[in-house]
């Protein structure tokens, strides 16, 4: 069965610190995609990134970077020089296994608080 | 940009009422989803639909039903609201191209309180 584990329930950092959010997954699929979402206090989930299992290169987008390691089944998210606007709950997600599946399995989320 | 619109941000209803939560998307997405989000439990899928008039149960369908009469609209119905259905409800949509490869795009959520 698909499983996504975000072991860090809550993290607090001081502004400008770097922070890494961990995501570990289990899947029986040989090819798959992984996703990260951000949920600010206002409530909407915002799609951040999609990566496929063929591509283990790190992805960088501004202050955000993602490290995908298939050997350890991890897809970690790093925010460099954190800002107060980064305060949110972050979710990692993995598609259900099997043909015709469009559902996502979400981790329980990591709440990040960036303190000014 | 994809726009998923939920009819209400906040809603207060009474026990036993029939409650309708509406969701509309403007990107011609085939798939639509309803989740509820509770502290400590994360997002749990209630129902999803992959085409007009088609629906599939998610992980927690009990006490809920759905309706999809038009491609852009997906309604969640609480047949007889109970206090344990007080929650944040999130609607999402996605393309069906490629199994599970497309991101889901979410609405702003509806905070529903059942008194």
In this prediction, residue B98 carries a pLDDT of 67
Cα separation, A66 vs A77, whole angstroms: 5
Q: Is the pLDDT of residue B3 over 80?
A: yes
Q: Is the pLDDT of residue A100 over 70?
A: no
Residues 50-79 of B with CB under 8 A from A: 50, 58
Q: Report CA-CA distances (Å) from B12 to B5, B34, B112.
A: 19, 19, 6
> Quick check: B108 and A95 CB within 8 A?
no
pLDDT in tens, A9-45: 999 999 999 999 999 999 988 888 899 999 999 889 9
- A-B CB pairs within 8 A amount to 59
pLDDT in tens, B70-99: 999 999 999 999 999 999 999 999 988 766
Residues recorded for chain B: 115
Q: Is the pLDDT of residue B34 over 70?
A: yes
Q: Is the pLDDT of residue B18 over 90?
A: yes
**Pick from A64, A66, A110, A67: which is nearest to A87 by CA?**
A110
Cα separation, A73 vs A2, whole angstroms: 12
In this prediction, residue A53 carries a pLDDT of 85
């Amino acid at each position: 069965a698909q499983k996504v584990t975000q072991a860090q329930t809550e993290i607090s950092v001081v502004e400008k610190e770097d922070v890494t959010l961990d995501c570990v997954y289990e899947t029986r699929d040989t090819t798959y995609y992984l996703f990260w979402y951000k949920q600010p206090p206002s409530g909407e989930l915002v799609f951040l990134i999609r990566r496929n299992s063929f591509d283990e290169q790190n992805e960088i987008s501004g202050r955000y970077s993602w490290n995908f390691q298939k050997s350890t089944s991890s897809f970690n998210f790093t925010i460099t020089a954190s800002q107060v606007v980064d305060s949110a709950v972050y979710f990692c997600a993995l598609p259900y296994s099997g043909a015709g599946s469009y559902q996502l399995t979400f981790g329980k989320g990591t709440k990040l608080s960036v303190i000014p | 940009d994809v726009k998923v619109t939920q009819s209400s941000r906040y809603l207060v209803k009474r026990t036993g009422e029939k409650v309708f939560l509406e969701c509309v998307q403007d990107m011609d997405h085939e798939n639509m989803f309803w989740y509820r989000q509770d502290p400590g439990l994360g997002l749990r899928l209630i129902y999803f639909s992959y085409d007009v008039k088609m629906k599939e149960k998610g992980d927690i369908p009990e006490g809920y039903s759905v309706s999809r009469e038009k491609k852009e609209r997906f309604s969640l119905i609480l047949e007889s609201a109970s206090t344990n259905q007080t929650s944040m409800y999130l609607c999402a949509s996605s393309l069906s191209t490629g199994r599970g490869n497309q991101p889901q795009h979410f609405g702003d959520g509806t905070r529903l309180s059942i008194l």
